[in-house]
Chains A and B, each alone.
Chain A
Amino acid sequence: MAPLLQLENVSVKYGAIEALREVSFSVEEGSITCLIGANGAGKSTTVNAIAGLVPTASGRILFQGEDITKLPASRRIAMGISIALEGRKIFGDQTVIDNLMLGAYTRSKNLSKLRREAEEMLARFPLIADRGQQLAGTLSGGQQQALAIARALMSRPKLLLLDEPSLGLAPILIQEIYQIIQDLADQGTTILLVEQFAAYAFMVSQNACVLEHGQLTLAGPVAEVRDDPRLARAYLGK
């Protein structure tokens, strides 16, 4: 069976900067794959390109065997790709429920139906379960991250892209967020996880890809990547 997601020689440019150079890897259905590497290595660029938020300069992106390279973000979301962005990017001037309803924008415009679904979604996230009417900007960092993940799930994705869910969170909160990710994995959600803290990512992932200066330098099952000496070098240099 073809993998759920497949990248073939994908390159991305921001003006004069080549952020991603000929990156190829794939994500199997039902698995968690992590994308790790130092800051600025191109991890976020990769998932943003998959979600259709940044254009690819060359290469192909296949989802369920279908070429989605040229499709707009809204089509990709409708097909089943969802992303929780780096830095959480919740809509701070709207309530938690509103944020969740916007996550289902491509599925429905019916507010009462969406509100019901949003409340059901909230119930799955103890961190924010009783915060429905609060302005999202007033949530703590961990709560905002939980909201970002919940919002991404509102579109009922087949593939969930999680970009730096631990960013700026205290260790205790990172544990909680990773519990959520583990639960999602146990329910069979396919996840591509971007993480700069490799050790966290390894706890939940089956496969790992390492990016360095916009290039894929290492990929394979977590057990192999973890012990590869090239991993430490990717972070701390020689």
Chain B
Amino acid sequence: MAKAVRRYLPFLLVALALMLLPWLGLNPFYTHLGINLGIYVILAISMDLLVGFSGQTSLGHAAFYALGAYASGLLAVRLGFPVWLSIPCAAVIGAVITGLLGMPLMRVSGFYLAMLTIAFDLLTMTLIDQWPALTGGVNGLYNIPSPTMGNFLMFGARLSHRGYYYVVWILAALAFIFQRRFVNSWVGRALVAIEGSPLAASAMGINVARYRWMTFVLSGTLAAIAGSLFGHNVGYLNSEAFHGVSNMVLAMALVGGLRYPAGPFIGALIFVLVPQWLNQWGLGDKQGLVYGLILLLSLVVLPKGLASFISKRPQLLRLDPADVPADGVENLERVVSYQHGEDEPPVLKLEKVSIHFGGNVALQDVDLEVRPGETHALIGPNGAGKTTLINIISGIYTPTSGETYFNGERTTGLPPHVLTQRGMVRTFQNLQIFPGLTVLENVMIGAHPTFRHAALTSVLPLKALNEEEREAMAAAREVLAFLGLSEYENTIATELPYGTQKMVELARAIVAKPKLLLLDEPAAGLHKEELDRFEEGIRKLQQRGLTILIIEHHLDLVLRLADRVTVLNYGKRIFLGSPDEARADEQVKEVYIGGAAATA
């Protein structure tokens, strides 16, 4: 209880202050500022969701804002919709349009989106001016129901500015709660994972394209809601009103501090006050310059934003780890425990897999079979095609010919996130730890496939969601304890020594409850003690019946760990057998030292 009070107290105090503001007997001007502040808060939350969590940048939020404003305004003015209907309709229209605009996001990301949004912004403003029949053109749209005009009716009641203030802030509060619940969940962790490394996120079973698109649509919808509130506040719209808004919204989110709960409030407050200050100092015409300087410098001078001065690093966990005990460490039964029957099909089977890059044949007719419960080693000299093969197995490449099967089902050409959801989990040769996240958060991202609810349900107060979260956290803590990493749970993972990060990556893979664990050079760059720790961890997993396919250059290590060995050379399989047979095999020796060919 006390903990909950401590956690929510600042927000309750802020909420109380906001509720009282119109009654403090201040100049009514402050109520106006308060309305603007609420609208800006929604805008900043919308941008924070996009930039802060999914790492996508919109440079055209003014367009979505304007869409919402005009949609609600037009529905109210032209069709006589009541505002309680026109505002939700504006949100839906915003969602549909951003949904369509976001379609290329299925294929590209990053700066493409940024430029696309700039273009859309320019287009929207042009349309507003060029389509007077609909929008009133440059003369503007008049008579939108608003407290300023005195015609803002909500369920029959005529609202003053004071009443409207509460409408705005109720919606702002809902937007805030929506965003925090949305991100303090497996969804938020998935978004941050995508931002850190799309490739690794996809290997965690995250549908990168869909998450990006969804965030974009939610962000656009929130902006449209803010826009409709803006339109009903002023009662009159033309394209002038949206000039510079895109840049302001982005600057608000950055200055306030991305991902921090307080960030949008601080950002919005500053941008409500900045124009007042500039006017006071006689610098009213320098507003654009100030926005520009903020965008140019804030990422360099103040990369974490102002909120970083008053709050701790924002967490991406819904529950307090202290409330979720890591029991069952000894047997790890919650996560890894497999009983393999005699008649099970091979976990992984490759039939005559070949792949060509340009004219080069990288792999030719490679067969591979990994049996349930075995540790299979894939070795060969550099350039033999091992990494290419693991990329085919995990779905990053599609083979030119041949078939892949996983658990008896044909999987040729399936994307990585689908294979992961079916139980194939990999680690990467080049460390792919998600930057800026704690060890526990990193490992919990590995548990993504265990979350079965639709992403949007994360905002609902469902008991089942908390259970899933609790289960994933317990599994994560258990695996960390199992690998001796508990002490680092709350450390930022990328600040750990390299070898420890490799172990975190292993933990993240195990927590997904893999049916097959693919290890791509897990021991590269480890020193002696780290190697021993790694070997010990793998042995324990083997005892629990985990099936493993391992690529590794430390031959002594893999030959100790493996049940069977496949040797690749020049893209072909040249050997299959036990480690002892491999050690004795002349061809294998030759492959490694270049003996016969050189001395012949």
A72–B382 CA distance with the chains assembled, in angstroms: 29
Q: Which residues of A contact B381 (CB under 8 A)?
A: 39, 196-197
- Contact between chains at B556 and A236 (CB < 8 Å): yes
* Residue among A15, A168, A175 with the highest chain B CB neighbour number at 10 A: A168
Question: Is A166's beta carbon under 8 Å from chain B?
Answer: yes
Q: Which of A100-108, A111-119, A123-131, A198-206 contacts B (4 or more CB under 8 A)?
A: A198-206
Of residues A16, A138, A166, A198, which shows the largest number of chain B Cβ atoms within 10 Å of its Cβ?
Answer: A16
- What 0/1 pattern do residues 32 to 71 of A give for CB contact below 8 A with B? 0000001110000000000000000000000000000000
CA distance A106 to B85 in the complex (A): 72
Residues of A within 8 A of B501 (CB): 16
CB nearest to A19 among chain B residues: B525
Chain A residues whose C-beta falls within 8 Å of the C-beta of B527 in the assembled complex:
18, 213
Contact with B along A163-190 (1 / 0, CB 8 A): 0101110110011000000000000000
Are A40 and B524 in touch, CB under 8 angstroms? yes
On chain A, the residues within 8 Å of B583 by CB distance are 236
Cβ contact of A171, chosen from B358, B592, B597, cutoff 8 A = B597
The complex places the Cα of A17 from the Cα of B554 at a distance, in Å, of 16
| Chain B: interface residue total (CB-CB under 8 A) | 29
Tell me if A235 is interfacial: C-beta within 8 Å of chain B. Answer: yes
Task: Contact check, A237 vs B554: say whether CB atoms are below 8 A apart.
Answer: yes
Q: How far is the CB of B526 from chain A (nearest CB, A)?
A: 9
Of the candidates A141, A196, A198, A235, the one whose C-beta lies within 8 Å of that of B382 is A196
Across the interface, do B382 and A200 meet the contact criterion of CB distance under 8 Å? no
Instruction: With CB as the reference atom, state the residue of chain A lying closest to B501.
Output: A16
Tally inter-chain residue pairs, CB-CB below 8 A: 70
Contact check, B383 vs A197: say whether CB atoms are below 8 A apart.
no
In angstroms, Cα B384 to Cα A197, docked, is 13
B382 touches A236 (CB 8 A): no
Within 8 A of B (CB), among A16-36: 16-19
Closest CB in chain B relative to A211 CB, distance in Å: 13
Is there an interface contact between A39 and B383, defined as CB atoms closer than 8 Å? no
Contact A237 B382 (CB under 8 A): no
Q: In the complex, what distance in Å separates the CA atom of A38 from the CA atom of B556?
A: 11
> Closest CB-CB distance, B578 to chain A, in whole Å?
15
The answer to whether the Cβ of B326 comes within 8 Å of any Cβ in the partner chain is no
Q: Pick the contact of A166: B525, B528, B594 (CB < 8 A).
A: B594
* Shortest distance from the beta carbon of A93 to any chain B beta carbon, whole Å: 13
Which residue on A lies nearest to B553, using beta carbons?
A39
Q: B593 near A: Cβ within 8 Å?
A: yes
Q: Which of B383, B498, B570 contacts A16 (CB 8 A)?
A: B498
Q: Are B497 and A199 neighbours in the complex by a CB distance under 8 Å?
A: no
The residues in B between 23 and 41 inclusive whose CB is less than 8 angstroms from any CB of A are none
Residue among A38, A196, A197, A237 making CB contact with B559, cutoff 8 Å: A237
Contact of B598 among A15, A16, A40, A197 (CB under 8 A): A197
State in angstroms the CA–CA spacing of A232 and B593 once bound together.
8
Instruction: Assess the B498–A17 pair: CB atoms within 8 A.
Output: yes
Interface centre among B359, B525, B559, B583 (most CB of A within 10 A): B525
Chain A stretch 138-170: residues in CB contact (< 8 A) with chain B: 138, 141, 164, 166-168, 170
Contact A237 B555 (CB under 8 A): yes
- Contacting B594 at CB < 8 Å: which of A39, A137, A141, A200? A200
Expressed in whole angstroms, the minimum distance between the Cβ of A42 and any Cβ of chain B is 11
CB pair B553 A197 closer than 8 Å: no
Please report the C-alpha to C-alpha distance between residue A232 and residue B497 in the assembled complex, in whole angstroms: 30
**Contact: A237 with B498, CB < 8 Å?**
no
Smallest Cβ-Cβ distance to B582: which chain A residue: A236
CB pair A235 B595 closer than 8 Å: no
The listed residue with most B CB atoms (<10 A of its CB), out of A137, A202, A236, is A236
> A168 near B382 (CB under 8 angstroms)?
yes
Q: Smallest CB–CB gap between A197 and chain B, Å? A: 3
* Given A235-B592, A237-B554: A167 touches B383 (CB 8 Å cut-off): yes
Tally of contact residues, A, Cβ under 8 A: 32
Within 8 A of A (CB), among B64-102: none
User: In the complex, what distance in Å separates the CA atom of A166 from the CA atom of B498?
Assistant: 30
Give the distance in Å from the alpha carbon of A167 to the alpha carbon of B381 in the complex.
Answer: 9
Q: How far is the CA of A237 from the CA of B592 in the complex (A)?
A: 12
A197 and B555 form a contact (CB under 8 A): no
Determine how close the nearest CB of chain A comes to the CB of B149; give it in whole angstroms. Answer: 62
Residues of A within 8 A of B525 (CB): 17, 19, 40
Q: Which of B577-600 contact A (CB under 8 A)?
A: 583, 589, 592-595, 597-599
Q: Quote the shortest CB–CB distance from B278 to chain A (angstroms).
A: 44
Chain B residues contacting A213 (CB-CB under 8 Å) are 527-528
Closest chain-B Cβ to A79's Cβ sits at a distance in Å of: 30
Q: Which residues of A contact B273 (CB under 8 A)?
A: none
A207-220 near B? 1/0 per residue, CB < 8 Å = 00000010000000
Known: A16-B497, A16-B498. A203 touches B557 (CB 8 A): no
Task: For residue B436, give the distance in angstroms from its CB to the closest CB of chain A.
Answer: 16
Residues from chain B with Cβ under 8 Å of A198 in the complex = 593-594
CB atoms of B593 and A197 under 8 A apart? yes
Give residues of chain B (493-520) contacting chain A, Cβ–Cβ below 8 Å.
Answer: 497-498, 501
A198 nearest CB neighbor, chain B only: B593
Whether B570 contacts A170 by the Cβ 8 Å rule is yes
Per-position contact with A for B358-380: 1 when CB-CB < 8 Å, else 0? 11100000000000000000000
Question: Which A-chain residue is minimally distant from B525 (CB atoms)?
Answer: A17
CA distance A174 to B595 in the complex (A): 13
Question: A235 contacts which of B497, B555, B570, B599 (Cβ < 8 Å)?
Answer: B555
Residue of B497, B498, B556, B594 most packed against chain A (CB within 10 A):
B594
Q: In the bound complex, do residue A199 and residue B594 qualify as a contact, i.e. CB atoms below 8 Å apart?
A: yes
Check B382–A203 contact: CB distance below 8 A: no
Nearest chain B CB to A229 CB, angstrom units:
13
A201–chain B nearest beta-carbon distance, Å: 8
Chain B residue contacts of A17, Cβ below 8 A: 498, 525
C-alpha gap A15/B497 in the complex (Å): 9
Which 10 A-B pairs have CB atoms at the shortest separation, nearest pair first? A237-B556, A197-B594, A168-B383, A199-B598, A16-B498, A171-B597, A39-B553, A199-B594, A17-B525, A200-B598
Given contacts A39-B381, A232-B593, A237-B555, 17 further A-B pairs with CB under 8 A are: A16-B498, A17-B525, A38-B554, A137-B358, A138-B359, A164-B382, A166-B594, A168-B383, A196-B594, A199-B593, A199-B597, A202-B598, A203-B598, A236-B555, A236-B592, A237-B554, A238-B556
19 A-B residue pairings within 8 Å (CB atoms): A16-B498, A38-B553, A38-B554, A38-B555, A39-B553, A40-B524, A40-B525, A137-B358, A141-B360, A174-B594, A174-B598, A197-B381, A197-B594, A199-B593, A199-B597, A199-B598, A203-B598, A235-B592, A237-B556
